[in-house]
Amino acid sequence: MIRHPYDDSLVLFDPADVEADLAPHPLIGEHQADLRAVVAWARAYLCRPHAELGRRGPVCPYTQASLDRGTFLLAVQPGHGHTVASLSTLLAPYRDWFLDLAPRGGPAAQSTTILVLLPGMRDARQVIDAAQRELKDAYVVHGLMIGEFHDGPPDKSGLWNPDFRPLHSPVPMLVIRHMVPTDLPFLVSDEMHLAAYRDLFGEQVPGHLRDLVTKP
């Protein structure tokens, strides 16, 4: 468990906290089923191949390392009445905290992720999707990605199979992680996003994605 250095209401748990049989933290106790469902989903879905993925390997190539290193971090923010504006406010301290916990270039950077679970928003998928679109600029400029997950699932196709919807999860959430070179397809349609990508990776674009980069 990690407490925010300036705000005691913000707590991050790792899978060991969630799966322990000892008396849990009050936030875990109230939402233990949701937290355990997300950890189980990560192990059974993100860390494994999928018949519809369209490529070899696990759905997410980074999740197993994140779980193994204790950098798969979970927060819970229950609430039914969130708007795009309130989610923006809610996520801002996690974004800044992420940058302190896992500065780019540090040993834990690529494996660290913060999953902000929103268990009260099961009927507000459109708000989560809209919040992700609204927040993306403020994350990309810091070299971060923010992703939306819920049981809709979000209407975003996989890179290797346009009929696959990979962002399905048992609990609605917004997820923060560092940008990686293979994120280019999610950034190339916006000039500001593409500029942020180039600032980080320059010409080090994966070979199979180079045709997506337009010349300035």
Amino acid letter for position 199:
D
Q: Answer whether residue 90 is part of any domain.
A: yes
Q: Tens place of pLDDT for every residue, the chain, 216 residues? A: 899 988 888 999 999 988 887 656 777 778 889 999 999 999 999 999 999 888 899 999 999 999 999 999 999 998 778 899 999 999 999 999 999 999 888 888 889 999 999 998 877 889 999 999 999 999 999 999 999 999 988 888 888 888 889 999 999 999 999 999 888 888 888 999 989 988 998 777 666 666 666 544
Q: Answer whether residue 205 is part of any domain.
A: no
**Cβ pair 73, 112 in contact under 8 A:** yes
Q: Answer whether residue 184 is part of any domain.
A: no
Number of folded domains that form the chain: 1
Q: Answer whether residue 197 is part of any domain.
A: no
Q: Answer whether residue 75 is part of any domain.
A: yes
Q: Judging by beta carbons within 10 Å of its beta carbon (0-12, 13-18, 19+), is residue 74 exposed, middle or buried?
A: buried
Q: Answer whether residue 211 is part of any domain.
A: no
Q: Answer whether residue 103 is part of any domain.
A: yes
The whole model's pTM is what? 0.91
* CA atoms of 41 and 44, how far apart (whole Å): 5
Range of the domain at 159: 2-178
